[in-house]
Amino acid sequence: MQLHNTFSGRKEDFVPGDPERVTMYVCGPTVYSYAHIGNARPAVVFDVLARVLRRRFARVEYVRNITDIDDKINKAAAEQGVGIEVITQRFAAAYHEDLEALGVAPPDVEPRVTEHLPDIIAMIERLVAKGHAYEAEGHVLFNVTSFEDYGKLSKRDRREMVAGARVEVAPYKKDPADFVLWKPSSEEQPGWDSPWGRGRPGWHIECSAMSAALLGETIDIHGGGHDLVFPHHENERAQSCCAHGAQYVRYWVHNGFLNVNSEKMSKSLGNVLLVRDLLAQAPGEVVRLALLTGHYRHPLDWNDDTLPRTRKQLDRLYGALRDVADVEAEDIEPPEAFVAALEDDLNTPAALAELFELARALNKAGDDAERARLKGQLLAASKLLGFLGQSPESWFAGDTSDLGAEQIENLIAARDAARKAKDFAEADRLRDEITALGVTIEDSPQGTRWRME
């Protein structure tokens, strides 16, 4: 198996530290609002990576955290006049609902920062004791000049780092790039007792502390969106290497960004697509497939065509299955080329091409033995990627209801118009189209009535 490592900048053979226990940590969401489709991308990508790893290795430990201490959470809680736990519970639950709909399996452990304050504080104390961190005006800061390797992951020079991180140039900092490990809380702000007074952790330290507590000082894979390379992962790496004197991560894996109509999603542009809004338009499998059609490292463009186009692709897969409903699938492994594509740095476009090829071959299969084999392969390959979990009947039935009443009404109106214009051929064609959607229509003096079959 090969994985692209952000640290080396190239594809490498994946060799875990201990093949008996493969460890993976992925930075999860900050829970103060609903997840957008960009947030869903790492969740789906690393879900697929976990599935591929689990196929090859007997034991995989996958940790994805929930960030439930953050100033954006504090702001939302203050605005709504509730405690932060009200906000974090609400949006963690919403996140779980969204991911379940996308067929994302839960990670093995999902730690929350509020459960790990003793680990965080102990790690900061260690960094202070070793001379990598210092206290200044109620803050504890990591001193980047104490770590020679600083900048090696993101490959930035010092000036770029300060500009890129928009770090606060506070007078108490020894170096402008020094970053916060702990900061003081005012009485109104959420805070926890610490050797440096009541306060709260900075963002980066949580992942260093939680990954060490749950997976050990050196982990095999660390993942997240590529916006996290700097400063978040650069800083995690500095903290962990300095606290433990050991390698932190063997393979750094980052997904590319998802854009909407070739633009970065942003509140100011008003183009933020929430997962739950997309799930109102299409089944979760469609959204999941759309996220996997591009290679995980490349940018992915989401536009108006994405859902209808992807739905048709799934129709093809389910259609191929429906045609062989009476054939018993062979209990068989996915085809080698399919697995090889996934093990080649998670090349989902190539793997999906194999999947569609299987569906094509199944449509053309000459005898039942071949059909049984191809059906088995199609199901096994789809299962590995998290697809075709329902029966073709329920897929196509769901498809009709998801089409929405509006679309059906539009077809009926078009048929009525054709009949009025005495274009009976067109009216018949539209009737067939409507019937094919599983809708029964009845003409009455009051107009055309319809119902689902």
Q: Provide the binding-site residues for ligand AMP, judged by CB under 6 A.
A: 27, 29-30, 38-39, 41-42, 224-225, 227-228, 255, 257-258, 265
Q: Does 27 bind Zn ion (CB under 5 A)?
A: yes
Smaller CB distance to Zn ion: residue 210 or 346?
210
Spatial separation of the C-alpha atoms in residues 29 and 113, rounded to whole Å = 11
Q: Does 207 bind Zn ion (CB under 5 A)?
A: yes
E strand or H helix at 292, and its extent?
helix 284-292
Q: Give the residue ranges of DSSP H helices in 155-233.
A: 158-165, 204-215
Q: Which two tokens stand for residue 351?
A: 């793997």
> How near is the Cβ of 229 to ligand AMP at its closest, in Å?
9
Spatial separation of the C-alpha atoms in residues 35 and 29, rounded to whole Å = 8
Q: Which two tokens stand for residue 393?
A: 């009947």
**Cα dist from 405 to 170, 368, 450, whole Å:** 58, 39, 10
CB-based contact 263:271 (threshold 8 Å): yes
Other C-beta atoms lying within 10 Å of the C-beta of residue 244: 16
Spatial separation of the C-alpha atoms in residues 221 and 412, rounded to whole Å = 54
> How near is the Cβ of 164 to ligand AMP at its closest, in Å?
15
E strand or H helix at 183, and its extent?
strand 179-184
> How near is the Cβ of 203 to Zn ion at its closest, in Å?
8
> How near is the Cβ of 202 to ligand AMP at its closest, in Å?
14
Smaller CB distance to ligand AMP: residue 130 or 298?
298
E strand or H helix at 261, and its extent?
none
Among ligand AMP, Zn ion, none, partner that 257 touches (CB below 5 to 8 angstroms by kind): ligand AMP
Among ligand AMP, Zn ion, none, partner that 207 touches (CB below 5 to 8 angstroms by kind): Zn ion
> How near is the Cβ of 432 to ligand AMP at its closest, in Å?
42
> How near is the Cβ of 162 to Zn ion at its closest, in Å?
21
Among ligand AMP, Zn ion, none, partner that 201 touches (CB below 5 to 8 angstroms by kind): none
Q: Which two tokens stand for residue 417?
A: 């118009």
Smaller CB distance to Zn ion: residue 27 or 124?
27
Among Zn ion, ligand AMP, none, partner that 204 touches (CB below 5 to 8 angstroms by kind): none
Among ligand AMP, Zn ion, none, partner that 258 touches (CB below 5 to 8 angstroms by kind): ligand AMP
The region of 21-29, 357-365, 418-426, 429-437 touching Zn ion under the rule CB under 5 A is 21-29
* Strand bridging mode 219-225 / 249-255: parallel
Residues interacting with Zn ion, by CB under 5 A? 27, 207
